[in-house]
Chains A and B, each alone.
Chain A
């Protein structure tokens, strides 16, 4: 229940909170706009449409999509197992899911280097298959998938629990196989929570930096994502380029954010 009329001290509290948010969030958000267009719209557009920039964006979206698809499929599977199944070690598996949150992105990148880099544990498998993992796309995909892993699981689990099993049971008594029941009954029931998780995954994947920095070679045009592009541009003192790409990423993120909010609201009103 939210009050409509407030006393002076309450207004003061509101003011403090709003001011804090403004200074912390709004300021920087607006400044990126200023920074990108500070040299004028011309240079801005030129930078954004340069070959390197476009390739970087393409790669970001590719990796983002890839990581999202993988984590969605496996995430739903894991959520199902954690909610509907009962076996020893379930608690442990649940703990594993949350670990990417506890791991710094650079450490994530380092782990992959240890596995697939020089003297890595699995480098010989990769070599045998003729795939290059570190300093190449597969590694970057792995890194992006790792850091964005928990979202779908964590958003789907409570929804799965909430819808209960009776509708699925009804489907079983009517002749539906477990897969059919899942596809026709369960999935549609959890779709908003699922989509919310998917949007969170996508946002995280698109914004990934630390892990791919370590895992990629940073060769522009080949293994450079948008975030790596910004980093390199700053290093090269190409400030307009950096700010321009930062703004593009911010805009993409905002779009995803709006999707997030939309799905979140739909998921919330499903009671």
Chain B
């Protein structure tokens, strides 16, 4: 799946044929449909949250968030998200490199496995983890015997996040590596550079925008993850309660105000991340004005 958000600046300047053939009301009609759909489905709901969360002013907004439980939830969310992002960045890059540059048995299987988290419902992911690592699970019992608790503790949260965000960095880095086609690396080898030096000096700089994009996407996804966390974490306020689960809890207890406030904060964070991703995309591919091709 292509994770990179599409960039409309790369769209061609429209052929005048479309401008001529599509009657003005035809073209405006399609535009209207597209824009209204997005307005109704996305813009409207988002405005509702922002309005509600900030309705009673900044002070109340902060007080909701800064409540001890809310604050702890936020902190936990951020810490687990950062941890996940760092691990994913490293492992994802390595996995992408291995998938593209090396050939080994089960390579095709691994490539297919990468897409699994896209298909599996997050709730099912949580259930699977509980079955495996829970107190009654095979691994879980063994681990707990050694004093290492996974489920209903922070490690479980990170584990769930890693699973859910597994493909993100891989799928952003893979296309870039495939585009590079190994030529530059081979050139470096013939010039005497060792594999590590080559990776560090040639490959890494080329793929770092992709890694950063994947990392940002991972982070954005991690702070919003709900389905797997709510099963796996145990949701103990102050200990294993993350921000999205906190929001859920607030809605359950009819404190829509508190839920909105936290939501607004999470949204602001996500949006900043998405904008950064878009900005990196734009920097990487300078816009080309196509325009008149055949003269």
A–B touch (CB < 8 A): the answer is yes
User: A107 to B49, Cβ gap below 8 A?
Assistant: yes
- In the docked arrangement, what's the CA distance between A9 and B122, Å? 35
Given known contacts A2-B103, A27-B132, is B231 in contact with A85 (CB within 8 Å)? no
Q: At the interface, yes or no: A185 with Cβ under 8 Å from chain B?
A: no
From the candidates B104, B114, B138, B267, name the one contacting A31 in the complex (CB within 8 A): B138
A residues contacting the other copy or chain, number (CB 8 A): 105
| Closest beta carbon of chain A to B176's beta carbon, Å | 15
Q: Which of A18, A107, A169, A172 contacts B267 (CB 8 A)?
A: A107
* Contact present for B122 and A96 (CB under 8 Å): no
Question: Is there an interface contact between B11 and A83, defined as CB atoms closer than 8 Å?
Answer: yes
Interface of A is mostly: helix
Interface 9-residue window, one of A41-49, A51-59, A207-215: A207-215
Contact A81-B226, Cβ < 8 Å, known A31-B132, A91-B8, A161-B11: no
B108 to chain A, nearest CB (A): 10
The interface on chain B, measured as residues whose beta carbon lies within 8 A of the other chain's beta carbons, has a size of 103
**Chain A residue at smallest Cβ distance from B94:** A17
Q: Which of B238-275 contact A (CB under 8 A)?
A: 244-245, 247-248, 251, 256, 259-260, 263, 266-267, 270-271, 273-275
CA distance A178 to B117 in the complex (A): 39
Can you list, as one digit per residue, whether each of A90-118 has a CB less than 8 Å from chain B (1) or not (0)? 11011111111111111111111111000
Does A24 lie at the interface of the complex (its beta carbon under 8 Å from any beta carbon of B)? yes
Find the A residue at minimum CB distance from B96: A17
A13 within 8 A of B: yes
Residue in B closest to A197 when the chains form the complex, CB atoms? B1
- In chain A, positions 178-232 with a C-beta closer than 8 Å to chain B are 178, 196, 200, 203-204, 206-210, 213-214, 227, 230-231
Contact B8 A260, beta carbon cutoff 8 Å: no
| Given A78-B38, A105-B227, A114-B49, also A18-B106 (CB < 8 A) | yes
Please indicate the chain B residues that have their CB under 8 angstroms from the CB of A97 in the complex.
5-6, 38, 42
Of chain A, the residue at the smallest CB distance from B243 is A104
User: B33 in the interface, Cβ–Cβ < 8 Å?
Assistant: yes
In the complex, the chain A residue whose C-beta lies closest to that of B10 is: A161
The CA-CA distance from A172 to B174 in the complex, in Å, is 39
Which residue from chain A places its CB closest to the CB of B49 in the assembled complex? A111
In the complex, what residues of B have CB within 8 A of residue A100's CB?
42
The residues in B between 10 and 28 inclusive whose CB is less than 8 angstroms from any CB of A are 10-15, 17-18, 21-22, 26-27
Q: Report the separation of the CA atoms of residues A20 and B159 in the bound assembly, to the nearest whole angstrom.
A: 12
Question: Is B73 at the interface (CB under 8 A from chain A)?
Answer: no
Measured in the bound complex, the distance between the Cα atoms of B225 and A106 in whole Å is 9
Q: Report which of A85, A105, A213 forms a contact with B31, defined as CB distance below 8 A.
A: A85
In the complex, the answer to whether B38 meets A93 with C-beta atoms within 8 Å is yes
Binary flags per residue of B34-71, CB closer than 8 Å to A gives 1, else 0: 11011001111110110010000000000000000000
Instruction: Provide the A3-42 mask, 1 if CB < 8 A to any CB of B, else 0.
Output: 1101001100110111011001111110110110000000
Smallest CB separation, B156 vs chain A (Å)? 12
Point out the residues of chain B lying under 8 angstroms from A157, CB to CB.
6, 8, 11
A124 contacts chain B at the CB level, 8 A cutoff: no
Q: Known: A6-B104, A104-B266, A260-B115. Is A32-B128 also a contact (CB below 8 A)?
A: yes
Closest 5 CB pairs of A and B: A207-B121, A104-B224, A28-B128, A111-B45, A102-B270
> Using a CB–CB distance below 8 Å, which chain B residues touch chain A?
1-2, 5-15, 17-18, 21-22, 26-27, 30-31, 33-35, 37-38, 41-46, 48-49, 52, 91, 94-95, 98, 100-104, 106-107, 110, 112-125, 127-129, 131-132, 137-139, 159, 162-163, 166, 181-182, 195, 217, 220-221, 223-227, 230-231, 244-245, 247-248, 251, 256, 259-260, 263, 266-267, 270-271, 273-275, 278
Q: List 5 A-B contacts (CB under 8 A).
A: A83-B12, A113-B256, A207-B122, A207-B227, A210-B122
Binding site for B on A (CB under 8 A): 1-4, 6, 9-10, 13-14, 16-18, 20-21, 24-29, 31-32, 34-35, 74, 77-78, 80-87, 90-91, 93-115, 121, 142, 145-146, 149, 153-155, 157-158, 161, 164-165, 168-169, 172, 177-178, 196, 200, 203-204, 206-210, 213-214, 227, 230-231, 234, 242-243, 246, 249-250, 253-254, 256-257, 260-261, 264
